[in-house]
Every structure is written in C-alpha cells, then in structure tokens.
Chains A and B, each alone.
Chain A
Amino acid sequence: MAKAPVLARGFELPLEPRLPRIGSIDAVALEARADSLAKRSIKKEAKLFALELAIRMTDLTTLEGADTPGKVQALATKAVKPDPSDPSIPSCAALCVYPNLVPAAVTRLRGTGVKVASVATAFPSGQSPIDVKVRETEEVVAMGADEVDMVIDRGAFLSGRYAKVYDEIVQVKQACGDAHLKVILEVAELGTYDNVRRASLLAMAAGADFVKTSTGKLSGAATLPVTLCMLEAIRDVHEETGRMVGMKPAGGIRQAKQAVQYLVQLYETLGAEWLTPDLYRLGASTLLNDVLMQIRKERTGRYQSPDYFTVD
C-alpha cells in the first residue's frame, strides 16, 4: 500500500494561516449538504461500479468478546472470496480483529492481498497508560498486523488536553513502524462536529494515515454528516500540505444503498483520486452480503434469497 511520507513527528500544519478558523462547522448546513448528496440516484453501471468498489474497500470486521480463531478464519476466507460462486467478485481490503486473533487472521490471509488490521491501544475506551498502548501496538505489528486501528483518549480530548492526545498518536505511529495507522475518533463521544473537526486535524497532524469515525461499540457510529465533516478536514489538509489522508467510516453501515451514498459523498467531496481502498475503507460486519445480493440483482435483474449468500 502506498504510504504517506513518514516524518519524525508526524507533520507540521502551517498553523499561522489556519489558526483563525480551525474549528467551526455549521451543523444545520453540514447535515443539509450530507442529505442532498445522499439523494443522488445511482443506477446501472454506475451502481455496479460503486458496489464492486465497496467490496474492495471493506474492512470486514469482527470485534466480539466471543471471537475465536475458528470464527476469524471463517471470516478471513469470506474476505478473500466474498462470493465463491462468482470469481469476478473482488476481495475485501482487510480483516479487522482484536489483537489476540491477529495470528489466526495472518495464517489464513498471508499472500492473499487481504490485509490484517488489528485494533489496539486499549480498544474501545483508550483509557490505559500510554506505555501499555505502545506495547500493545508493537505486539500486534510483531504478530503480523498490516494495519493498526487505534482509539484516541476521548477523556483527554474532552478535558482539553489536546497535547496528550497528540503525543499518544505520535508515539503509537512510531510503534507502528511500517504498519498503517488508522485513528478512531469515536465521534459519538465527541458530541459536536466542531470537536470532530478538531480531532480530525489533530490526528492528521500527529501522523494518522487514516481517520476513522467509530469503534462500532456505541450506537451513534458513522453517519453521513460526520463523515462529510471529516472528509472536509482531510480536504483542507490536502489543500495545504499535499498530504493525502484516508477515511474510514465504521459502524452502522449495513446496506448496499448506504455504501453507495458514502461513496457518492467521497467522490463529490474529495474527487476520483480518493476512490481507492488505499484511501477509503468501510468498516462493516454485515454490509458485505447485502452488497453481493445487490450486485447479483443488478446483473440478473432478480433478487435472490439470502440463503444463496454465506453467513460466516
């Protein structure tokens, strides 16, 4: 995967010209824009293009206390060949699991092109000492994770200790080495779009390769407006520094129709350059089968029973 240039301490935002306007989002207008983008009518080839892309961008996810190597390997198989009856269906981007299950995922995914992503840094709360977080990150990378999904310390963020949040991301980024770092903001706990924007800029400044909405552990996970808010922050960083940061909405994306809406929003906000799994991921556990079902419907004109798609 292409990577953003690694700088010693992330990269410096040229703060001077930005300073007056880091933090404002008008919630009403943001939601109106997200709403109008969601009304695009995507049909036929355009829809197939989106559905196929959605599969290539999916981070197939299982983050349960009950996860076992067996479950993870079943999902890994699904990620490689989402629809065994149709060889034209591409693989997912990655499989996202808890640290202990990284070896199981690696065993099944080595050489397939599907990445192994592991959550880390005391997921989902992030409320642990920094040395524990760094250590956990080093471990998952050593076990073979290609990507690390860390959580920010929302307690620190909400109490205004931005420097702590920043420093932790910098340290985790260092611990990642060559692995890709996705920074989860857990937007449902941040409370306002202003905070989401601030946290996005902070994460990008600290070296995040991706910013990600949610852990999936709370009810208010990814939404179209919050994702748009983060895409706009990514766009501003790109405009000012040339650096291309990725985006990962996660949680609550269950239907193919939603996936298409997310991709329309991406395309019309950041442009065609971002229409790649290198820069956009959809974190989802149940989305995949609906996408497969819609693809088959587009191709054959008929819906098929869910029993024709594997439950893994």
Chain B
Amino acid sequence: MAELEKKARQALVPSGWDYAPAPESREIVRIEERYGHFVGGEWLEPKESYTTISPASEEPLAEVGQATPAEVRAAIATAREAFENGWSALPGSERAKYLFRIARILQERSREFAVLESLNGGKPIKESRDVDLPLAAAHFFYYAGWADKLEYAFPNRRPRPVGVAGQIIPWNFPLLMLAWKIAPALAAGNTVVLKPAETTPLTALLFCDVVRQAELPPGVVNIVTGDGRAGAAIVEGDVDKIAFTGSTEVGKAIQRELAGTGKRLTLELGGKAANIVFDDCALDQAIEGIVNGIYFNQGHVCCAGSRLFVQESIHEDVVKKLKRRMQTLRVGDPLDKNTDIGAINSRMQLEKIEELVEAGKEEGAEIYQPPCRLPEKGYWFAPTVFTDVAQSYRIAQEEIFGPVLSVLTFRTPAEAVEKANNTPYGLSAGIWTEKGSRILWMAERMRAGVVWANTFNRFDPASPFGGYKESGFGREGGRHGLEPYLEFD
C-alpha cells in the first residue's frame, strides 16, 4: 500500500515547472537607423560610423558615429562656449530646475530606457527596470538638490565650477554611469562632453532626447560616440577635467597622458572585491548576497564580490547551498522578465572570461556550472563557481568581470582581513556576520572604498563610491561627488 501511494505521488510530481516566456515588449522604444554626435543641442552627421548590436542575438540595432579627433574638438569647443556664455553664471536654483526636469523625464520614460538598456547591453530587464533606471533618476534628483546649496556643502571655500568636463563611461551600467557623471557636473555648474562605451551607446543617445525635452541650454551636454580613439581625443582635448570609469589599464594610460597638464582627474577602475562570510551569519541570506554579489549584471560590475572568503567551519555548507541556489538562476533572453542572468556584453569580454576560466581549470581549481541551456546566438556564459582556489591563482588575483566566483577560506577574522586586503585593488568588500562589533572591527580594517555589511551591490546617490589603490581615486555620489567638479579658494 505504502509503495502504491509512493508511486502515485511520484506520478504527480512534475519534473519541473516551465515558466512561459514573459518578454517585455520592444515596441515601446524607437531606435533610429543612424545616429550622429549630439553637439550644441543638434545632431551632427558623423564622418565615420560603426554598427552597434544586441549582444544577446548579435542582431544589428543601429549605425552610430565613430568620432574623429576633429569632431571631438568641436564638441569640446561647443561645451566651452556654453560654459562661458551662460551656464556657469546661471543661479544654482535655475540649474536645479533643469536637473529635476531631467530626473522626472527619466522616471516617466523609464520603461523605454530599460528596454533599450537591456537590448543594447544584454542585462536582464528586471535589473535595468528595478536598478539602473530608478538609480539613474535618483542621481539627478539628488544632485538637483545640491545645485543651489554648494556654499553650504563647502562652507567658506567659495566653490566654483571647473569648466568643461570630459567624461568617459563603461558599458556595464551605461545610463547609470552617465547619470553618475552628468548630474554632479551640471549641478556644480560645468558643461560636459561625454562618451558612452563603444558597445553600449544607445541609451546615452536616447538621453539626448531627454536633454532636449528638458530644454537644457544647447551645448551644456554633448555626447560623442566611438571607441577608445574618441576617448583619447577627449583626454587630449581642451577640457578642464577628465572623469573616467573603466579598466585599470586605460585608467593608467589616461593618468600618464594627463601628468603635468593641470587637468583634474578622477578614476573609477577595476576591482576584485572580497565577500567575507563568517560562520555566525544568517546563512540563507548570505547565499543570496553572494549570488547577488557576483551574478548581478553577469558579474560585469567593478565592485562585484568575485572573491568569496568563507570561514572554514561552514565552507562545505556554503558551497552546497550556493550550488543549489545557482541551479535556479535563469539564464537567457535579457528582455524576459524572469531572466536572472543575461548576455555577456561583447565577444571580446566573453573571450576574456573564457581565457581566465581556462586558466582557473589549468591551475587546478574545481569548477562548477549548473546545467543550463545557453542560446546559440549571442554571447553567453553560464554562472560559474571555482572551489579549491589558492590565493595565487589568476582567478583569485585578476579581475574577470564576468559571472565567475572564486571561493577561498579563512579561519580567523585577522586572516580574513589579511587575505582580503592582499590585492592590488580596493573598491569594495562585503562582510556577513550577525555580530555588530565584528562588522565594525572588519570595516575599519578593510582597504576598500565601500564596505557592505550583510548586503552587497547596494547603491544610493547619497553615498560616496570610489576606490583605493588600483581601483582608482576620487569619489562619486554624495557630497563628496561634487568636489571633483568644483574649484575652491
């Protein structure tokens, strides 16, 4: 009888529950066939152009300009003119009005931007919808509030705008990084020339429409597109400040180039964050934090928690739970509302991830990837975890910038600090423990710009963000984020 019941029950158990596709509609966003450079409030016909694609399907989306040095110089000259003829002299409360207007328009058009962000960049729609867009709008709101209070932000220092800011941003959070750069620059009274990443120009180009809709004076925001050559032209151009977010290698080259020029510089570069899990943590929530720390945005996050340090006493449990959780991650169409992990941003990035993962295998680490069907077209990489990783392996040292986690162990808090800080980077760190005093003890000792406790990858415009060591210098966000865009007595 019991056997029969057991059989009957097994028959009722489905092998799984296939969620039907739930794609967000593409209809909401109109992509032009060709885009030029946005200079002085007008579209300039580009001399050269290239095709931008969707990394999830390799489908061409639009032709965009590859800015030549002359085009970049023209954009900078336009920004200079706008700075000198009006924008810098505008009262802060007037600048604030424009920023508030941009923030509201971003909120109103957030679905459109979210769809385009996922289409051009490959990130899951749930992230562009719930993270990128709300945060981008929040940054504009936040800095709009500072625009008429700079005197109070820096009392007795007579803050003045710097001039023209050249801003070069990465492909991992295209619109959000644009907001991080443009909002404080404008609030402080500067004008900007911004270059989005080569692979993800479309939301920045759609943002030009928002700039027009907000009736921002022409020339205050200028956007040129193209690869590193266009970026180099900005760095060499007649700008007063460079703000760069991207790879450490390029950051170093920019710093060399700018040495002795008097141009100001802030760099937000790579990272190899330690996510440290103590045995007294809330375990299931820590697992969520680990997953969020490394698989959020396919691991294309400079502050990703890519080195997991687990207290040895719970190592086995953590790895078991983590693997189990990884099996429920849904990899696929970025526009599907149920997708957890989208496409790798470009072929180049995919190759870099593959190379480092191969190195990890060769060096002797044990690899685990949950069974998942990857689409045939486009650039994909399954969520990956390496166990038995030694501190000296490349996968524990180099930034992979993909959905690849390395698990290491420690025995005591002091050892955790020592190992976590033993990296050329220092952007972020995570601490998981239910013990408040240990959080403070650890945070004091971490050489990282951001330390999260019992959470990870959490951002707020009011909180400064930036790195130690090879992760860069300068802070973005918060009152600190205004400083690089201001001169003082």
Contacts and interface: CB of A to CB of B under 8 A. Distances in A.
Interface stretch (B17-25, B250-258, B385-393): B17-25
B12 interface: yes
Nearest to B16: A272
B9 interface: yes
Interface stretch (A43-51, A102-110, A155-163, A215-223): A43-51
A2 B282 CA distance: 33
B30 interface: no
B279 A20 contact: yes
Given A39-B126, A278-B9, A268 B14 contact: no
A276 B13 contact: yes
A29 B328 contact: no
A232 B317 CA distance: 14
B17 A28 contact: no
A33 B313 CA distance: 25
A167 B424 CA distance: 57
B13 A45 contact: no
Interface in A261-280: 263, 267-268, 272-273, 275-276, 278
B288 interface: yes
Contacts of A46: 17-20
A39 B336 CA distance: 12
B354 interface: no
A42 B280 contact: no
Contacts of A275: 13-14, 17
Interface of B: 2, 5-6, 9, 12-22, 126, 130, 279-286, 288-289, 313-314, 320, 328, 337-338, 434, 454-455
Given A41-B338, A267-B17, 12 more contacts: A24-B281, A25-B282, A29-B288, A29-B454, A30-B282, A39-B126, A40-B338, A42-B20, A46-B17, A46-B18, A49-B17, A276-B9
A16 B280 CA distance: 15
A86 to B, nearest CB: 20
A26 B17 contact: no
A50 to B, nearest CB: 8
Contact of B5 (A2, A28, A239): A2
Contact of A41 (B22, B280, B454): B22
A222 to B, nearest CB: 19
Nearest to B12: A276
Contacts of A272: 13-17
Contacts of B454: 26, 28-29
A72 to B, nearest CB: 27
Interface of A: 1-2, 20-21, 24-26, 28-30, 32-33, 39-47, 49-50, 232, 239, 263, 267-268, 272-273, 275-276, 278
Contacts of B283: 21, 24
B115 to A, nearest CB: 15
Contacts of A232: 284
Contacts of A39: 126, 130, 337
Nearest to A43: B20
B447 to A, nearest CB: 25
Contacts of B16: 272
Contacts of B14: 49, 272, 275
B397 to A, nearest CB: 29
Contacts of B281: 21, 24, 26
A40 B19 contact: yes
A45 to B, nearest CB: 6
A266 to B, nearest CB: 10
B455 A28 contact: yes
Given A2-B5, A39-B126, A275-B13, A26 B19 contact: no
